[in-house]
Amino acid sequence: MELWNDMKLQINQQTYDVDVAEDTPLLWVIRDNLGLTGTKYGCGLAQCGACSVLVDGEVVRSCVMPAVSAVGKQITTIEAIEQDDVGKRVVQAWVNHQVPQCGYCQSGQVMAATALLKATPNPSRDEITAAISNLCRCGTYNAIDAAIDELAKPVGGNA
């Protein structure tokens, strides 16, 4: 706890200097120190996924990532999602399929879907199920599936 650092974090292509205890969860640095509130707090225990961000392209639940572990890595939050080609397509699919209800988990859902599609452009249904475990209390799961299935189809492939 006494470990206070002048920590440098690379978030959405910008460098931020923050003074926090090094074990502060990345989530709270993002939300509180930097004011990027699109990333949500739901459980603080990696159970729900509302806090999902990308760290070096991989989806990470930021509530359980000590800030110090993110140093030197490229962090992407929902605020920059449309600056990414895949992210932009995901958002478009979310709108097409009218996915969100209360919306609270959706930043995390979009991040998780984006990470999957960046790593695996045409994921199988099994891969989608394996990769997307974010909770949604409104039960938008069918719509999420429909949106990702649409994106998972090879471009110009069979309908």
Partner 1 sequence: MKPLTEHELAELAQETPINVSRRNFLLSSAGVAAGALVLSVGIPLRQARAAAATKMAPGTRVPAFLQITPDNRIILQSPFVEGGQGIFTAMAQIVGEELDAEPARFIVENAPTGADYQVMVGGPGRMTGGSMSVRTSYQTMRKLGALARQLMLQAAANQWQVPLSELITEPGIVLHKTSNRTLSYGELASKALDLPVPDPDSVSLKDPQAFRWIGKGIDRVDVYEKSVGKANYTIDLKVDGMLHAAVQHAPRLGLVAGDILNLKQVQAMPGVHSVHKVTGAVAVVAPHWWDAKRAAEALQVDWQAATSQRQGVRSMPADFSSEAFSEMLANRTEAGKDAETAGDISKVFSAATPESIISATYQTQYVHHAQLEPPSTIAQFHDDGRLEIWLPNQAPDMFLRDIAKRAGIAEDQIILHSPILGGFFGRHFLYPDANPYPQAIELAKATGKPIKLIWSREEEFLRDPLRPMAAVRMKAAIENGVPTALEVISACEGPGEAISGHDPDNVDGMAVEGLTGKSYQIANVRIAQDYVENPTMLAYWRSVGNSMNDFVYECFFDEMADKAGADPYELRKALLKDNPRLSHLLETVVKSAGGWKRGPFTAADGSKRARGIAMASPFGSHTATIAEVSIEQGQVKVHEIWEAIDPGTIVNPAIIEAQVKSAVALGLSQVLLEEVIYQQGEPLARNYDMYPILPPHMMPKVHVSIVESGEKMGGIGEPGLPPVPPAVVNAVSHLLGRRIRRMPLSRETFA
Partner 2 sequence: MKKLTLSMLVIIVLVAVGAWYSTRIPSTPLADVNSSELNASELIAKGEYVARASDCVACHTLPDSPAFSGGLEMATPIGSIYSTNITPDKTHGIGHYTLADFERVVRQGVAPDGHRLYPAMPFPSYAKLSDDDVKALYAYFMHGVQPSDKPNKQSEIPWPLNMRWPLAFWSGLFTDSGSYQSNTEQDEQWNRGAYLVQGAGHCGSCHTPRGLAMQEKALDESSPQFLAGALLDGWYAPSLRNDVNTGIGRWSEEDVYQFLKNGRNQHAVVYGSMTDAYNNSTQFMSDEDLYAMAHYLKSLPGDPLRDGEPWQHKPTTVTASMAAQDAAAKTYLARCSSCHGTDGMGRGQYIPPLAGATSMLAKEDASAINVTLNGSGRIVSHGVPDAYRMPPFRQQLSDKEIAEVLSFIRTTWGNHGGAVKVQDVTELREKTDPASSQVIILQMR
- Residues at the contact surface with partner 2, assessed by CB under 8 A: 1, 23-25, 45-47, 58, 60-61, 64-66, 68-69, 116, 119-120, 123-124, 126-131, 133
Supply the DSSP string of 86-107, one letter for each residue.
HHHHHHHHHHHTT--SS-TTHH
Task: Tell which residue, 50, 26, 43, 30, has the closest CA to residue 107.
Answer: 50
* Nearer residue to partner 2 within complex by CB, 65 or 80: 65
Q: Does 35 bind partner 1 (CB under 8 A)?
A: yes
* Least CB distance to partner 2 at residue 98 (A): 25
- Decide which of partner 1, partner 2, none touches 4; Cβ closer than 5 to 8 Å per partner kind: partner 1
Q: Does 25 bind partner 1 (CB under 8 A)?
A: yes
d(CA 74, CA 113): 18
Q: Which residues pair with 5 in a beta bridge?
A: 20
Largest alpha-carbon pair distance within the chain? 58
Q: Does 34 bind partner 1 (CB under 8 A)?
A: yes
DSSP 41: -
Which residues ranging from 119 to 148 are in contact with partner 1 (CB under 8 A)?
129, 132-145
